[in-house]
Structure 1
Amino acid sequence: MTPEEVLPENLLAGIRSRAAGYDRDNAFFQEDLEELTEAGYLRLFVPESDGGIGLGLEAAAQCQRRLATAAPATALAVNMHLVWTGVADVLSARGDHSLDFVLEEAARGEVFAFGNSEAGNDSVLFDSRTDATPSADGGYSFSGTKIFTSLSPAWTRLGIFGKDPQAHEGEGELVHGFITRETPGYTILDDWNALGMRASRSNTTVLEGARVPANRIFRKLPVGPNADPLIFAIFACFETLLAAVYTGIGERALHLGVDAVKRRTSFKNAGRSYAQDPDIRWKVAEAAMAMDNLYPQLAAVTRDVDALVDHGPQWFPKLVGLKVNATETARRVVDLAIRVSGGSSYFQGSELERLYRDVLAGMFHPSDDESAHNTVANAWLGPLEG
Structure 2
Amino acid sequence: MTPEEILPDALLERLRGRAAGYDHNNLFFHEDLEELAAAGYLKLFVPVADGGMGLGLEAVAALQQRLATAAPATALAVNMHLVWTGVAHVMAARGEATLDFVLKEAGKGEVFAFGISEAGNDSMLFDSTTVAEPLPDGGYRFTGRKIFTSLSRGWTRLGTFGKDASARNGEGELVFGFIHRDEPGHETLNDWDTLGMRASASNTTLLKGAAVPTERIFRKLPVGPNQDLLIFAIFACFETLLAAVYTGLAERAFMLGIESVKRRVSAKHGGRSFAQDPDIRWKVADAALAMDAIYPQLSAVARDIDNLVDHGAQWFPKLVGLKLRATENARYVVDLAIRVTGGSSYFRGSELERLYRDVLAGIFHPSNDESAHNTVANAWLGPLDN
Do both proteins adopt the same fold according to a TM-score greater than 0.5, normalized to the shorter chain?
yes
Match of 1:182 in 2: 182
SS of the equivalent of 2:168 reads helix
Match of 1:127 in 2: 127
Q: 1:159: how far off?
A: 0.3
1:157 aligns with 2:146: no
SS of the equivalent of 1:169 reads coil
Query: In the aligned structure 2, how far is the partner of 1:213 from the partner of 1:51?
Result: 27
Q: What letter is aligned with 1:48?
A: V
| Within-5 A mapping of 1:1-386 | 1-386=1-386
SS of the equivalent of 1:354 reads helix
Q: 1:183: how far off?
A: 1.7
Query: In the aligned structure 2, how far is the partner of 1:135 from the partner of 1:34?
Result: 37
Q: 1:54: how far off?
A: 1.0
Q: What letter is aligned with 1:141?
A: R
Q: What letter is aligned with 2:103?
A: L
Deviations 1:280-301 (A, max 9, x none): 0000000000000000000000
Query: In the aligned structure 2, how far is the partner of 1:141 from the partner of 1:52?
Result: 32
SS of the equivalent of 2:28 reads coil
Query: In the aligned structure 1, how far is the partner of 2:262 from the partner of 2:103?
Result: 46
Query: In the aligned structure 2, how far is the partner of 1:6 from the partner of 1:380?
Result: 41
SS of the equivalent of 2:193 reads coil
Alignment TM-score, normalising by the size of structure 2: 1.00
SS of the equivalent of 2:169 reads helix
Query: In the aligned structure 1, how far is the partner of 2:351 from the partner of 2:180?
Result: 36
Query: In the aligned structure 2, how far is the partner of 1:47 from the partner of 1:169?
Result: 41
Q: 1:209: how far off?
A: 0.5
Aligned-residue Cα RMSD (Å) equals 0.5
Q: 1:58: how far off?
A: 0.2
Deviations 1:32-70 (A, max 9, x none): 001000000000000112211110000000000000000
Q: 1:22: how far off?
A: 0.4
Query: In the aligned structure 1, how far is the partner of 2:188 from the partner of 2:78?
Result: 18
Query: In the aligned structure 1, how far is the partner of 2:209 from the partner of 2:47?
Result: 35
Q: 1:346: how far off?
A: 0.2
Q: What letter is aligned with 1:303?
A: R
Q: 1:227: how far off?
A: 1.2
Query: In the aligned structure 1, how far is the partner of 2:304 from the partner of 2:119?
Result: 32
SS of the equivalent of 1:54 reads coil
SS of the equivalent of 1:153 reads coil
Query: In the aligned structure 2, how far is the partner of 1:114 from the partner of 1:265?
Result: 47
Q: What letter is aligned with 1:299?
A: S
Displacement over 6 Å in runs of 4+: none
Q: What letter is aligned with 1:156?
A: T
Query: In the aligned structure 2, how far is the partner of 1:160 from the partner of 1:49?
Result: 27
Deviations 1:188-218 (A, max 9, x none): 1000001000000000000010000000000
Q: 1:136: how far off?
A: 1.3
Query: In the aligned structure 2, how far is the partner of 1:136 from the partner of 1:268?
Result: 79
Query: In the aligned structure 1, how far is the partner of 2:347 from the partner of 2:163?
Result: 46
In the alignment, structure 2 segments of 5+ residues that lack a partner are: none
Q: What letter is aligned with 1:155?
A: W
Q: What letter is aligned with 1:315?
A: W
| Number of aligned residues | 386
Q: What letter is aligned with 1:251?
A: E
Identity, % of aligned positions: 75
Q: 1:11: how far off?
A: 0.7
Query: In the aligned structure 2, how far is the partner of 1:220 from the partner of 1:2?
Result: 39
Alignment TM-score, normalising by the size of structure 1: 1.00
Q: What letter is aligned with 1:104?
A: K
In the alignment, structure 1 segments of 5+ residues that lack a partner are: none
Query: In the aligned structure 1, how far is the partner of 2:324 from the partner of 2:92?
Result: 27
Q: 1:150: how far off?
A: 0.7
Deviations 1:236-295 (A, max 9, x none): 000000000000011011100000000010012110110000000000000000000000
Query: In the aligned structure 2, how far is the partner of 1:5 from the partner of 1:300?
Result: 23
